[in-house]
Structure 1
Amino acid sequence: MERIIEEIREDLDRRIAVAADRLADRTLAEDPAYAALLGRTELRERIHRHLRQAVDGMVRESRGLPVDLSEARATGTLRAEQGLPLASLLRVRRHGGRLLWQTLTEAVAAHDRAALPRLLPGAAALWDVLEQMTDAASDAYRLAESPRAERDRELRASLLDALLDGTGEAAEAAARLGLPARGRFAVIVLAPPGLPEAGPDPVAPRVLWRNRADGETGLVELGHHPLESVRELLAPSGVRAGVSPVVAEAADLARARRLAALALRASPASTGPLTVLLDERLPAALVAGQPELAGRLRQVVLGPVLALPPEDRRVLLTTLGTWLTCQGSTSYAAQRLYCHRNTVSNRLRRLEQLTGRSLSDPAHVVELALAHAAVVRHASTEQVASRPKPQERPFGPKGPTG
């Protein structure tokens, strides 16, 4: 094999130079990643060097010498640091291997067609050398990519924090995350345990997730999607979530995050929709945002009702809540409560007597509605707090034998 290579060396070098030109042009035309990274001169030189080293490696292997893989490792490291996708690197090397074998057979045939059978044993040697070089480049790429990927994750997290906490220049952080400074954005705040792993949905709005000690948060770039699409996006996961209103400026995302957290707090833990849009729960959100005032509101407005025996208290509060849900219709409330409308009227009159508020006075109805929301939230919070917490397992989710 070495003898054949030496006999055609001058012509082979010329043909390899032509092959490098062809592969460089093909790569720049077909691979945007390479086109954005390298100019034609540099790419052509790299390809030319790779093809010549493959031939030299084949000769070395025929002598029983190890293949020099230092250049392949250096290339793999460099491309990882430059951010070129590994698939692009491997694709060029695969094309280069095929082109090199074609070039080698053409050079041998031009020199002495009768010598072609002597070239066949070299095929296995060439592909072995190419495989060694590709493996060396891939291993070096992955080794260099790990710290780079970690740095990219840390940078992405810090940029998201700057937007969601309002601690940095919003327009610059948005641009570095590939977001417009103006658009249609919303924020999602999830209840524990957060969102299970899932692949991106190509037809759903883009969401950038940030998982921190205080919970998991998603920055949603809505684009043309309605806000309701966030509910559809989260529905399969079965996780509780609060969603902010739409904001138009990246600078408003910190405020949107606070409103999303408030929407989650306004969501009852045991009933109601899993995904709560803030604008659907404004009274409850108002109560959740002012817990001290909410406690005072419960006592001042509904204190006499809360002092009743448990069953009486439950009946009056349920009737008030149903009446409010039915937009003040006694008839509809009676249908929902499976009782006569006169029964509902009698309960409501008793509630008016106990609270000193009239259900015909709009101002009093607002007080009663907010106080009722405060009672519901307080009961929900106590219910969650009273649930037994699962015992911690020091050896992982399956215990010491898992």
Structure 2
Amino acid sequence: MERIVEEIREDLDRRIALAADRLTDRTLAREPAWAVPLGRAGVRERIRLVLRRILDGLVGACRGEPVDVADARAAGAERAGRGLPLDPLRRTYREGARLVWQCLTEAVAVHDRSALARLPAGPDALWDVVDRLTDAASEAYHRAGAEREDGERERRAALLDALLDGPGAAGADPEPALAAAVRLGLPERGRFAVVALAPPRPGTAGPGGPGGAADGAAGVADAPRVLWRVRADGETGVAELGHHPLESLRVLLAPLPVRAGISPVVASPAELAGARRLAALALRVAPTAPAGSGAALLDERLPAALVAADPELAARLREVVLGPVLALPGQEARVLLTTLGTWLACQGSTTYAAQRLYCHRNTVSNRLRRLEQLTGRTLSDPAHVVELALAHAALAHAPAAPRAKAGPPPADPAAGGGGPTPGGTARRSPRSPG
């Protein structure tokens, strides 16, 4: 076959050039983006080279030589780098193979019809060459695409870090954060919030899925756009709220088995670093349900966040205000602290607290009087109630050893304690786990 091709080389080159023109027109009609930035002449030259490589591969295959796939690999990698789909390239190889076979048989017939019998039996060898070329192009395309995606993830992670780890303080230069926001597709002014997630429990995954983060709203229709950043200590999301209320983030997270803290709304990407710190603080005081999930809006849990923000001061508050109670035997201390927490959750109603605790109203009154005697604070004095409420909130953030002295910490008042809760008597999260 090699001798036949050499004898008709001039005619074959002319036919392949004409075939390249036809295939170029067809290809650009389907995929005009290929002409950017090559132009029609550049695309035609690429297609002519494809046809030549198919013919050369066919001739080499008849001699038992391997197919040269270097150009196919380069073409696949180039398309991935430009973000073009792979299928049009594969189609070009297939259509090119038909044209090459047509050019070859026509040129041989004109030169010496009897030589047609010396061509490969059927186009099987031709399609084997095409398969090798398309496989090489596909492999290079997917490898380059994966590298491109990795680079894009790293770039986006760096931009999110610039937003989340920036100064975020009044008077700080906002330009780095604003530049990062623009590159992430975020507006310079708007409504933003930050979501901080605790590390997922084994066998579960956060919004970003196992091993990676994904933008979007986890399949929820008409939800805020959230850009997720995965770190070793948990996931952090930058939410562009738009017209959505802050509560929509809690709705978005409700189906997921994660604890979350949600910052207040900020108006500029330059404020997101500060919002991240507030979201992390909200996470520290997020409710803990049996399923290990729950989302806390910082503004709904400010007293608890206040004591959580300064562990040393919180420890002092516990000692000064509740020290005598914590010094009691474990069960006695636990009963008094649970009664206090329930009474606070019921907005100072002894009757409602008794319903939640499944005991008589007088029992609650007696426990509260005992607590007043031990602490030296009176529940009829608003200032004393504030001290007791903050000290009780500080119990949730006590180190393990001091808590063991008084037994397990009281239940989170926001999560309820059983029994009826009349409307308006306790401020509950609309999405508190139950």
Is the CA contact (8 Å cut-off) linking 2:51 and 2:100 kept in structure 1?
A: no
SS in 1 for 2:351: helix
Equivalent residues in 2 for 1:337-376 (5 A)? 337-376=357-396
Deviates more, 1:173-182 or 1:221-230: 221-230
The 3 A distance-change label for structure 1 pair 36 and 207 is farther
Deviates more, 1:258-267 or 1:145-154: 145-154
Is the CA contact (8 Å cut-off) linking 1:25 and 1:40 kept in structure 2?
A: no
2:178 corresponds to which of 141, 147, 171? 171
Offset, 1:238: 1.6
Q: Which amino acid aligns with 1:25?
A: A
Deviates more, 1:330-339 or 1:130-139: 130-139
SS in 2 for 1:358: coil
Among all aligned residue pairs of Structure 1 and Structure 2, give the percentage whose two residues are the same amino acid.
58
- Note the residue ranges of structure 2 that are not aligned, 5 or more in a row: 168-174, 409-434
Which residue pairs with 2:17 in the alignment?
13
Q: Which amino acid aligns with 1:263?
A: A
Equivalent residues in 2 for 1:2-401 (5 A)? 3=4, 9-28=13-32, 34=34, 39-80=39-80, 82-84=81-83, 88=85, 90-104=86-100, 121-144=121-144, 148-166=148-166, 169-193=176-200, 196=205, 197=209, 201-203=218-220, 205-267=224-286, 274-378=294-398
Q: Which amino acid aligns with 1:265?
A: R
SS in 2 for 1:303: helix
Alpha-carbon distance in 1 for matches of 2:68, 2:186: 45
Which residue pairs with 1:396 in the alignment?
none
Please identify which structure carries the higher helix content. Answer: 1
Alpha-carbon distance in 2 for matches of 1:288, 1:353: 27
Is the CA contact (8 Å cut-off) linking 2:195 and 2:237 kept in structure 1?
A: yes
Which residue pairs with 2:417 in the alignment?
none
The 3 A distance-change label for structure 1 pair 9 and 155 is closer
Deviates more, 1:226-235 or 1:248-257: 226-235
Q: Which amino acid aligns with 1:282?
A: L
Deviates more, 1:52-61 or 1:161-170: 52-61
Q: Which amino acid aligns with 2:283?
A: L
Offset, 1:175: 2.1
The 3 A distance-change label for structure 1 pair 187 and 40 is farther
Offset, 1:211: 3.0
Q: Which amino acid aligns with 1:346?
A: N
Is the CA contact (8 Å cut-off) linking 2:261 and 2:298 kept in structure 1?
A: yes
Q: Which amino acid aligns with 1:49?
A: L
Q: Which amino acid aligns with 1:19?
A: L
Is the CA contact (8 Å cut-off) linking 1:262 and 1:285 kept in structure 2?
A: yes
Offset, 1:285: 0.8
Q: Which amino acid aligns with 1:338?
A: Y
- Note the residue ranges of structure 1 that are not aligned, 5 or more in a row: 388-402
1:238-261, Cα deviation, whole Å (9 max, x unpaired)? 222222223231111111111111
Offset, 1:379: 6.5
Is the CA contact (8 Å cut-off) linking 2:197 and 2:235 kept in structure 1?
A: yes
Q: Which amino acid aligns with 2:264?
A: P
Deviates more, 1:261-270 or 1:251-260: 261-270
Offset, 1:154: 3.0
Offset, 1:325: 0.6
Alpha-carbon distance in 1 for matches of 2:266, 2:22: 56
Alpha-carbon distance in 2 for matches of 1:136, 1:143: 11
The 3 A distance-change label for structure 1 pair 275 and 70 is same
1:209-254, Cα deviation, whole Å (9 max, x unpaired)? 3333444323333444443343344444422222222323111111
TM-score scaled by structure 1? 0.79
SS in 2 for 1:378: coil
Alpha-carbon distance in 1 for matches of 2:228, 2:318: 37
Alpha-carbon distance in 1 for matches of 2:224, 2:258: 18
Q: Which amino acid aligns with 2:319?
A: Q
Is the CA contact (8 Å cut-off) linking 2:54 and 2:97 kept in structure 1?
A: no
1:254-303, Cα deviation, whole Å (9 max, x unpaired)? 11111111111113556685222222321111110011221222222223
Alpha-carbon distance in 2 for matches of 1:139, 1:378: 56
Offset, 1:15: 2.6
Alpha-carbon distance in 2 for matches of 1:309, 1:262: 32
The 3 A distance-change label for structure 1 pair 60 and 242 is same
The 3 A distance-change label for structure 1 pair 331 and 379 is farther
Alpha-carbon distance in 2 for matches of 1:346, 1:177: 60
Offset, 1:186: 2.4
Alpha-carbon distance in 2 for matches of 1:142, 1:260: 38
SS in 1 for 2:286: coil
Alpha-carbon distance in 2 for matches of 1:381, 1:222: 42
The 3 A distance-change label for structure 1 pair 306 and 35 is farther
Alpha-carbon distance in 1 for matches of 2:247, 2:44: 51
Figure out how many residues of one structure are paired with residues of the other and give that number.
378
SS in 2 for 1:247: coil
Offset, 1:330: 1.5
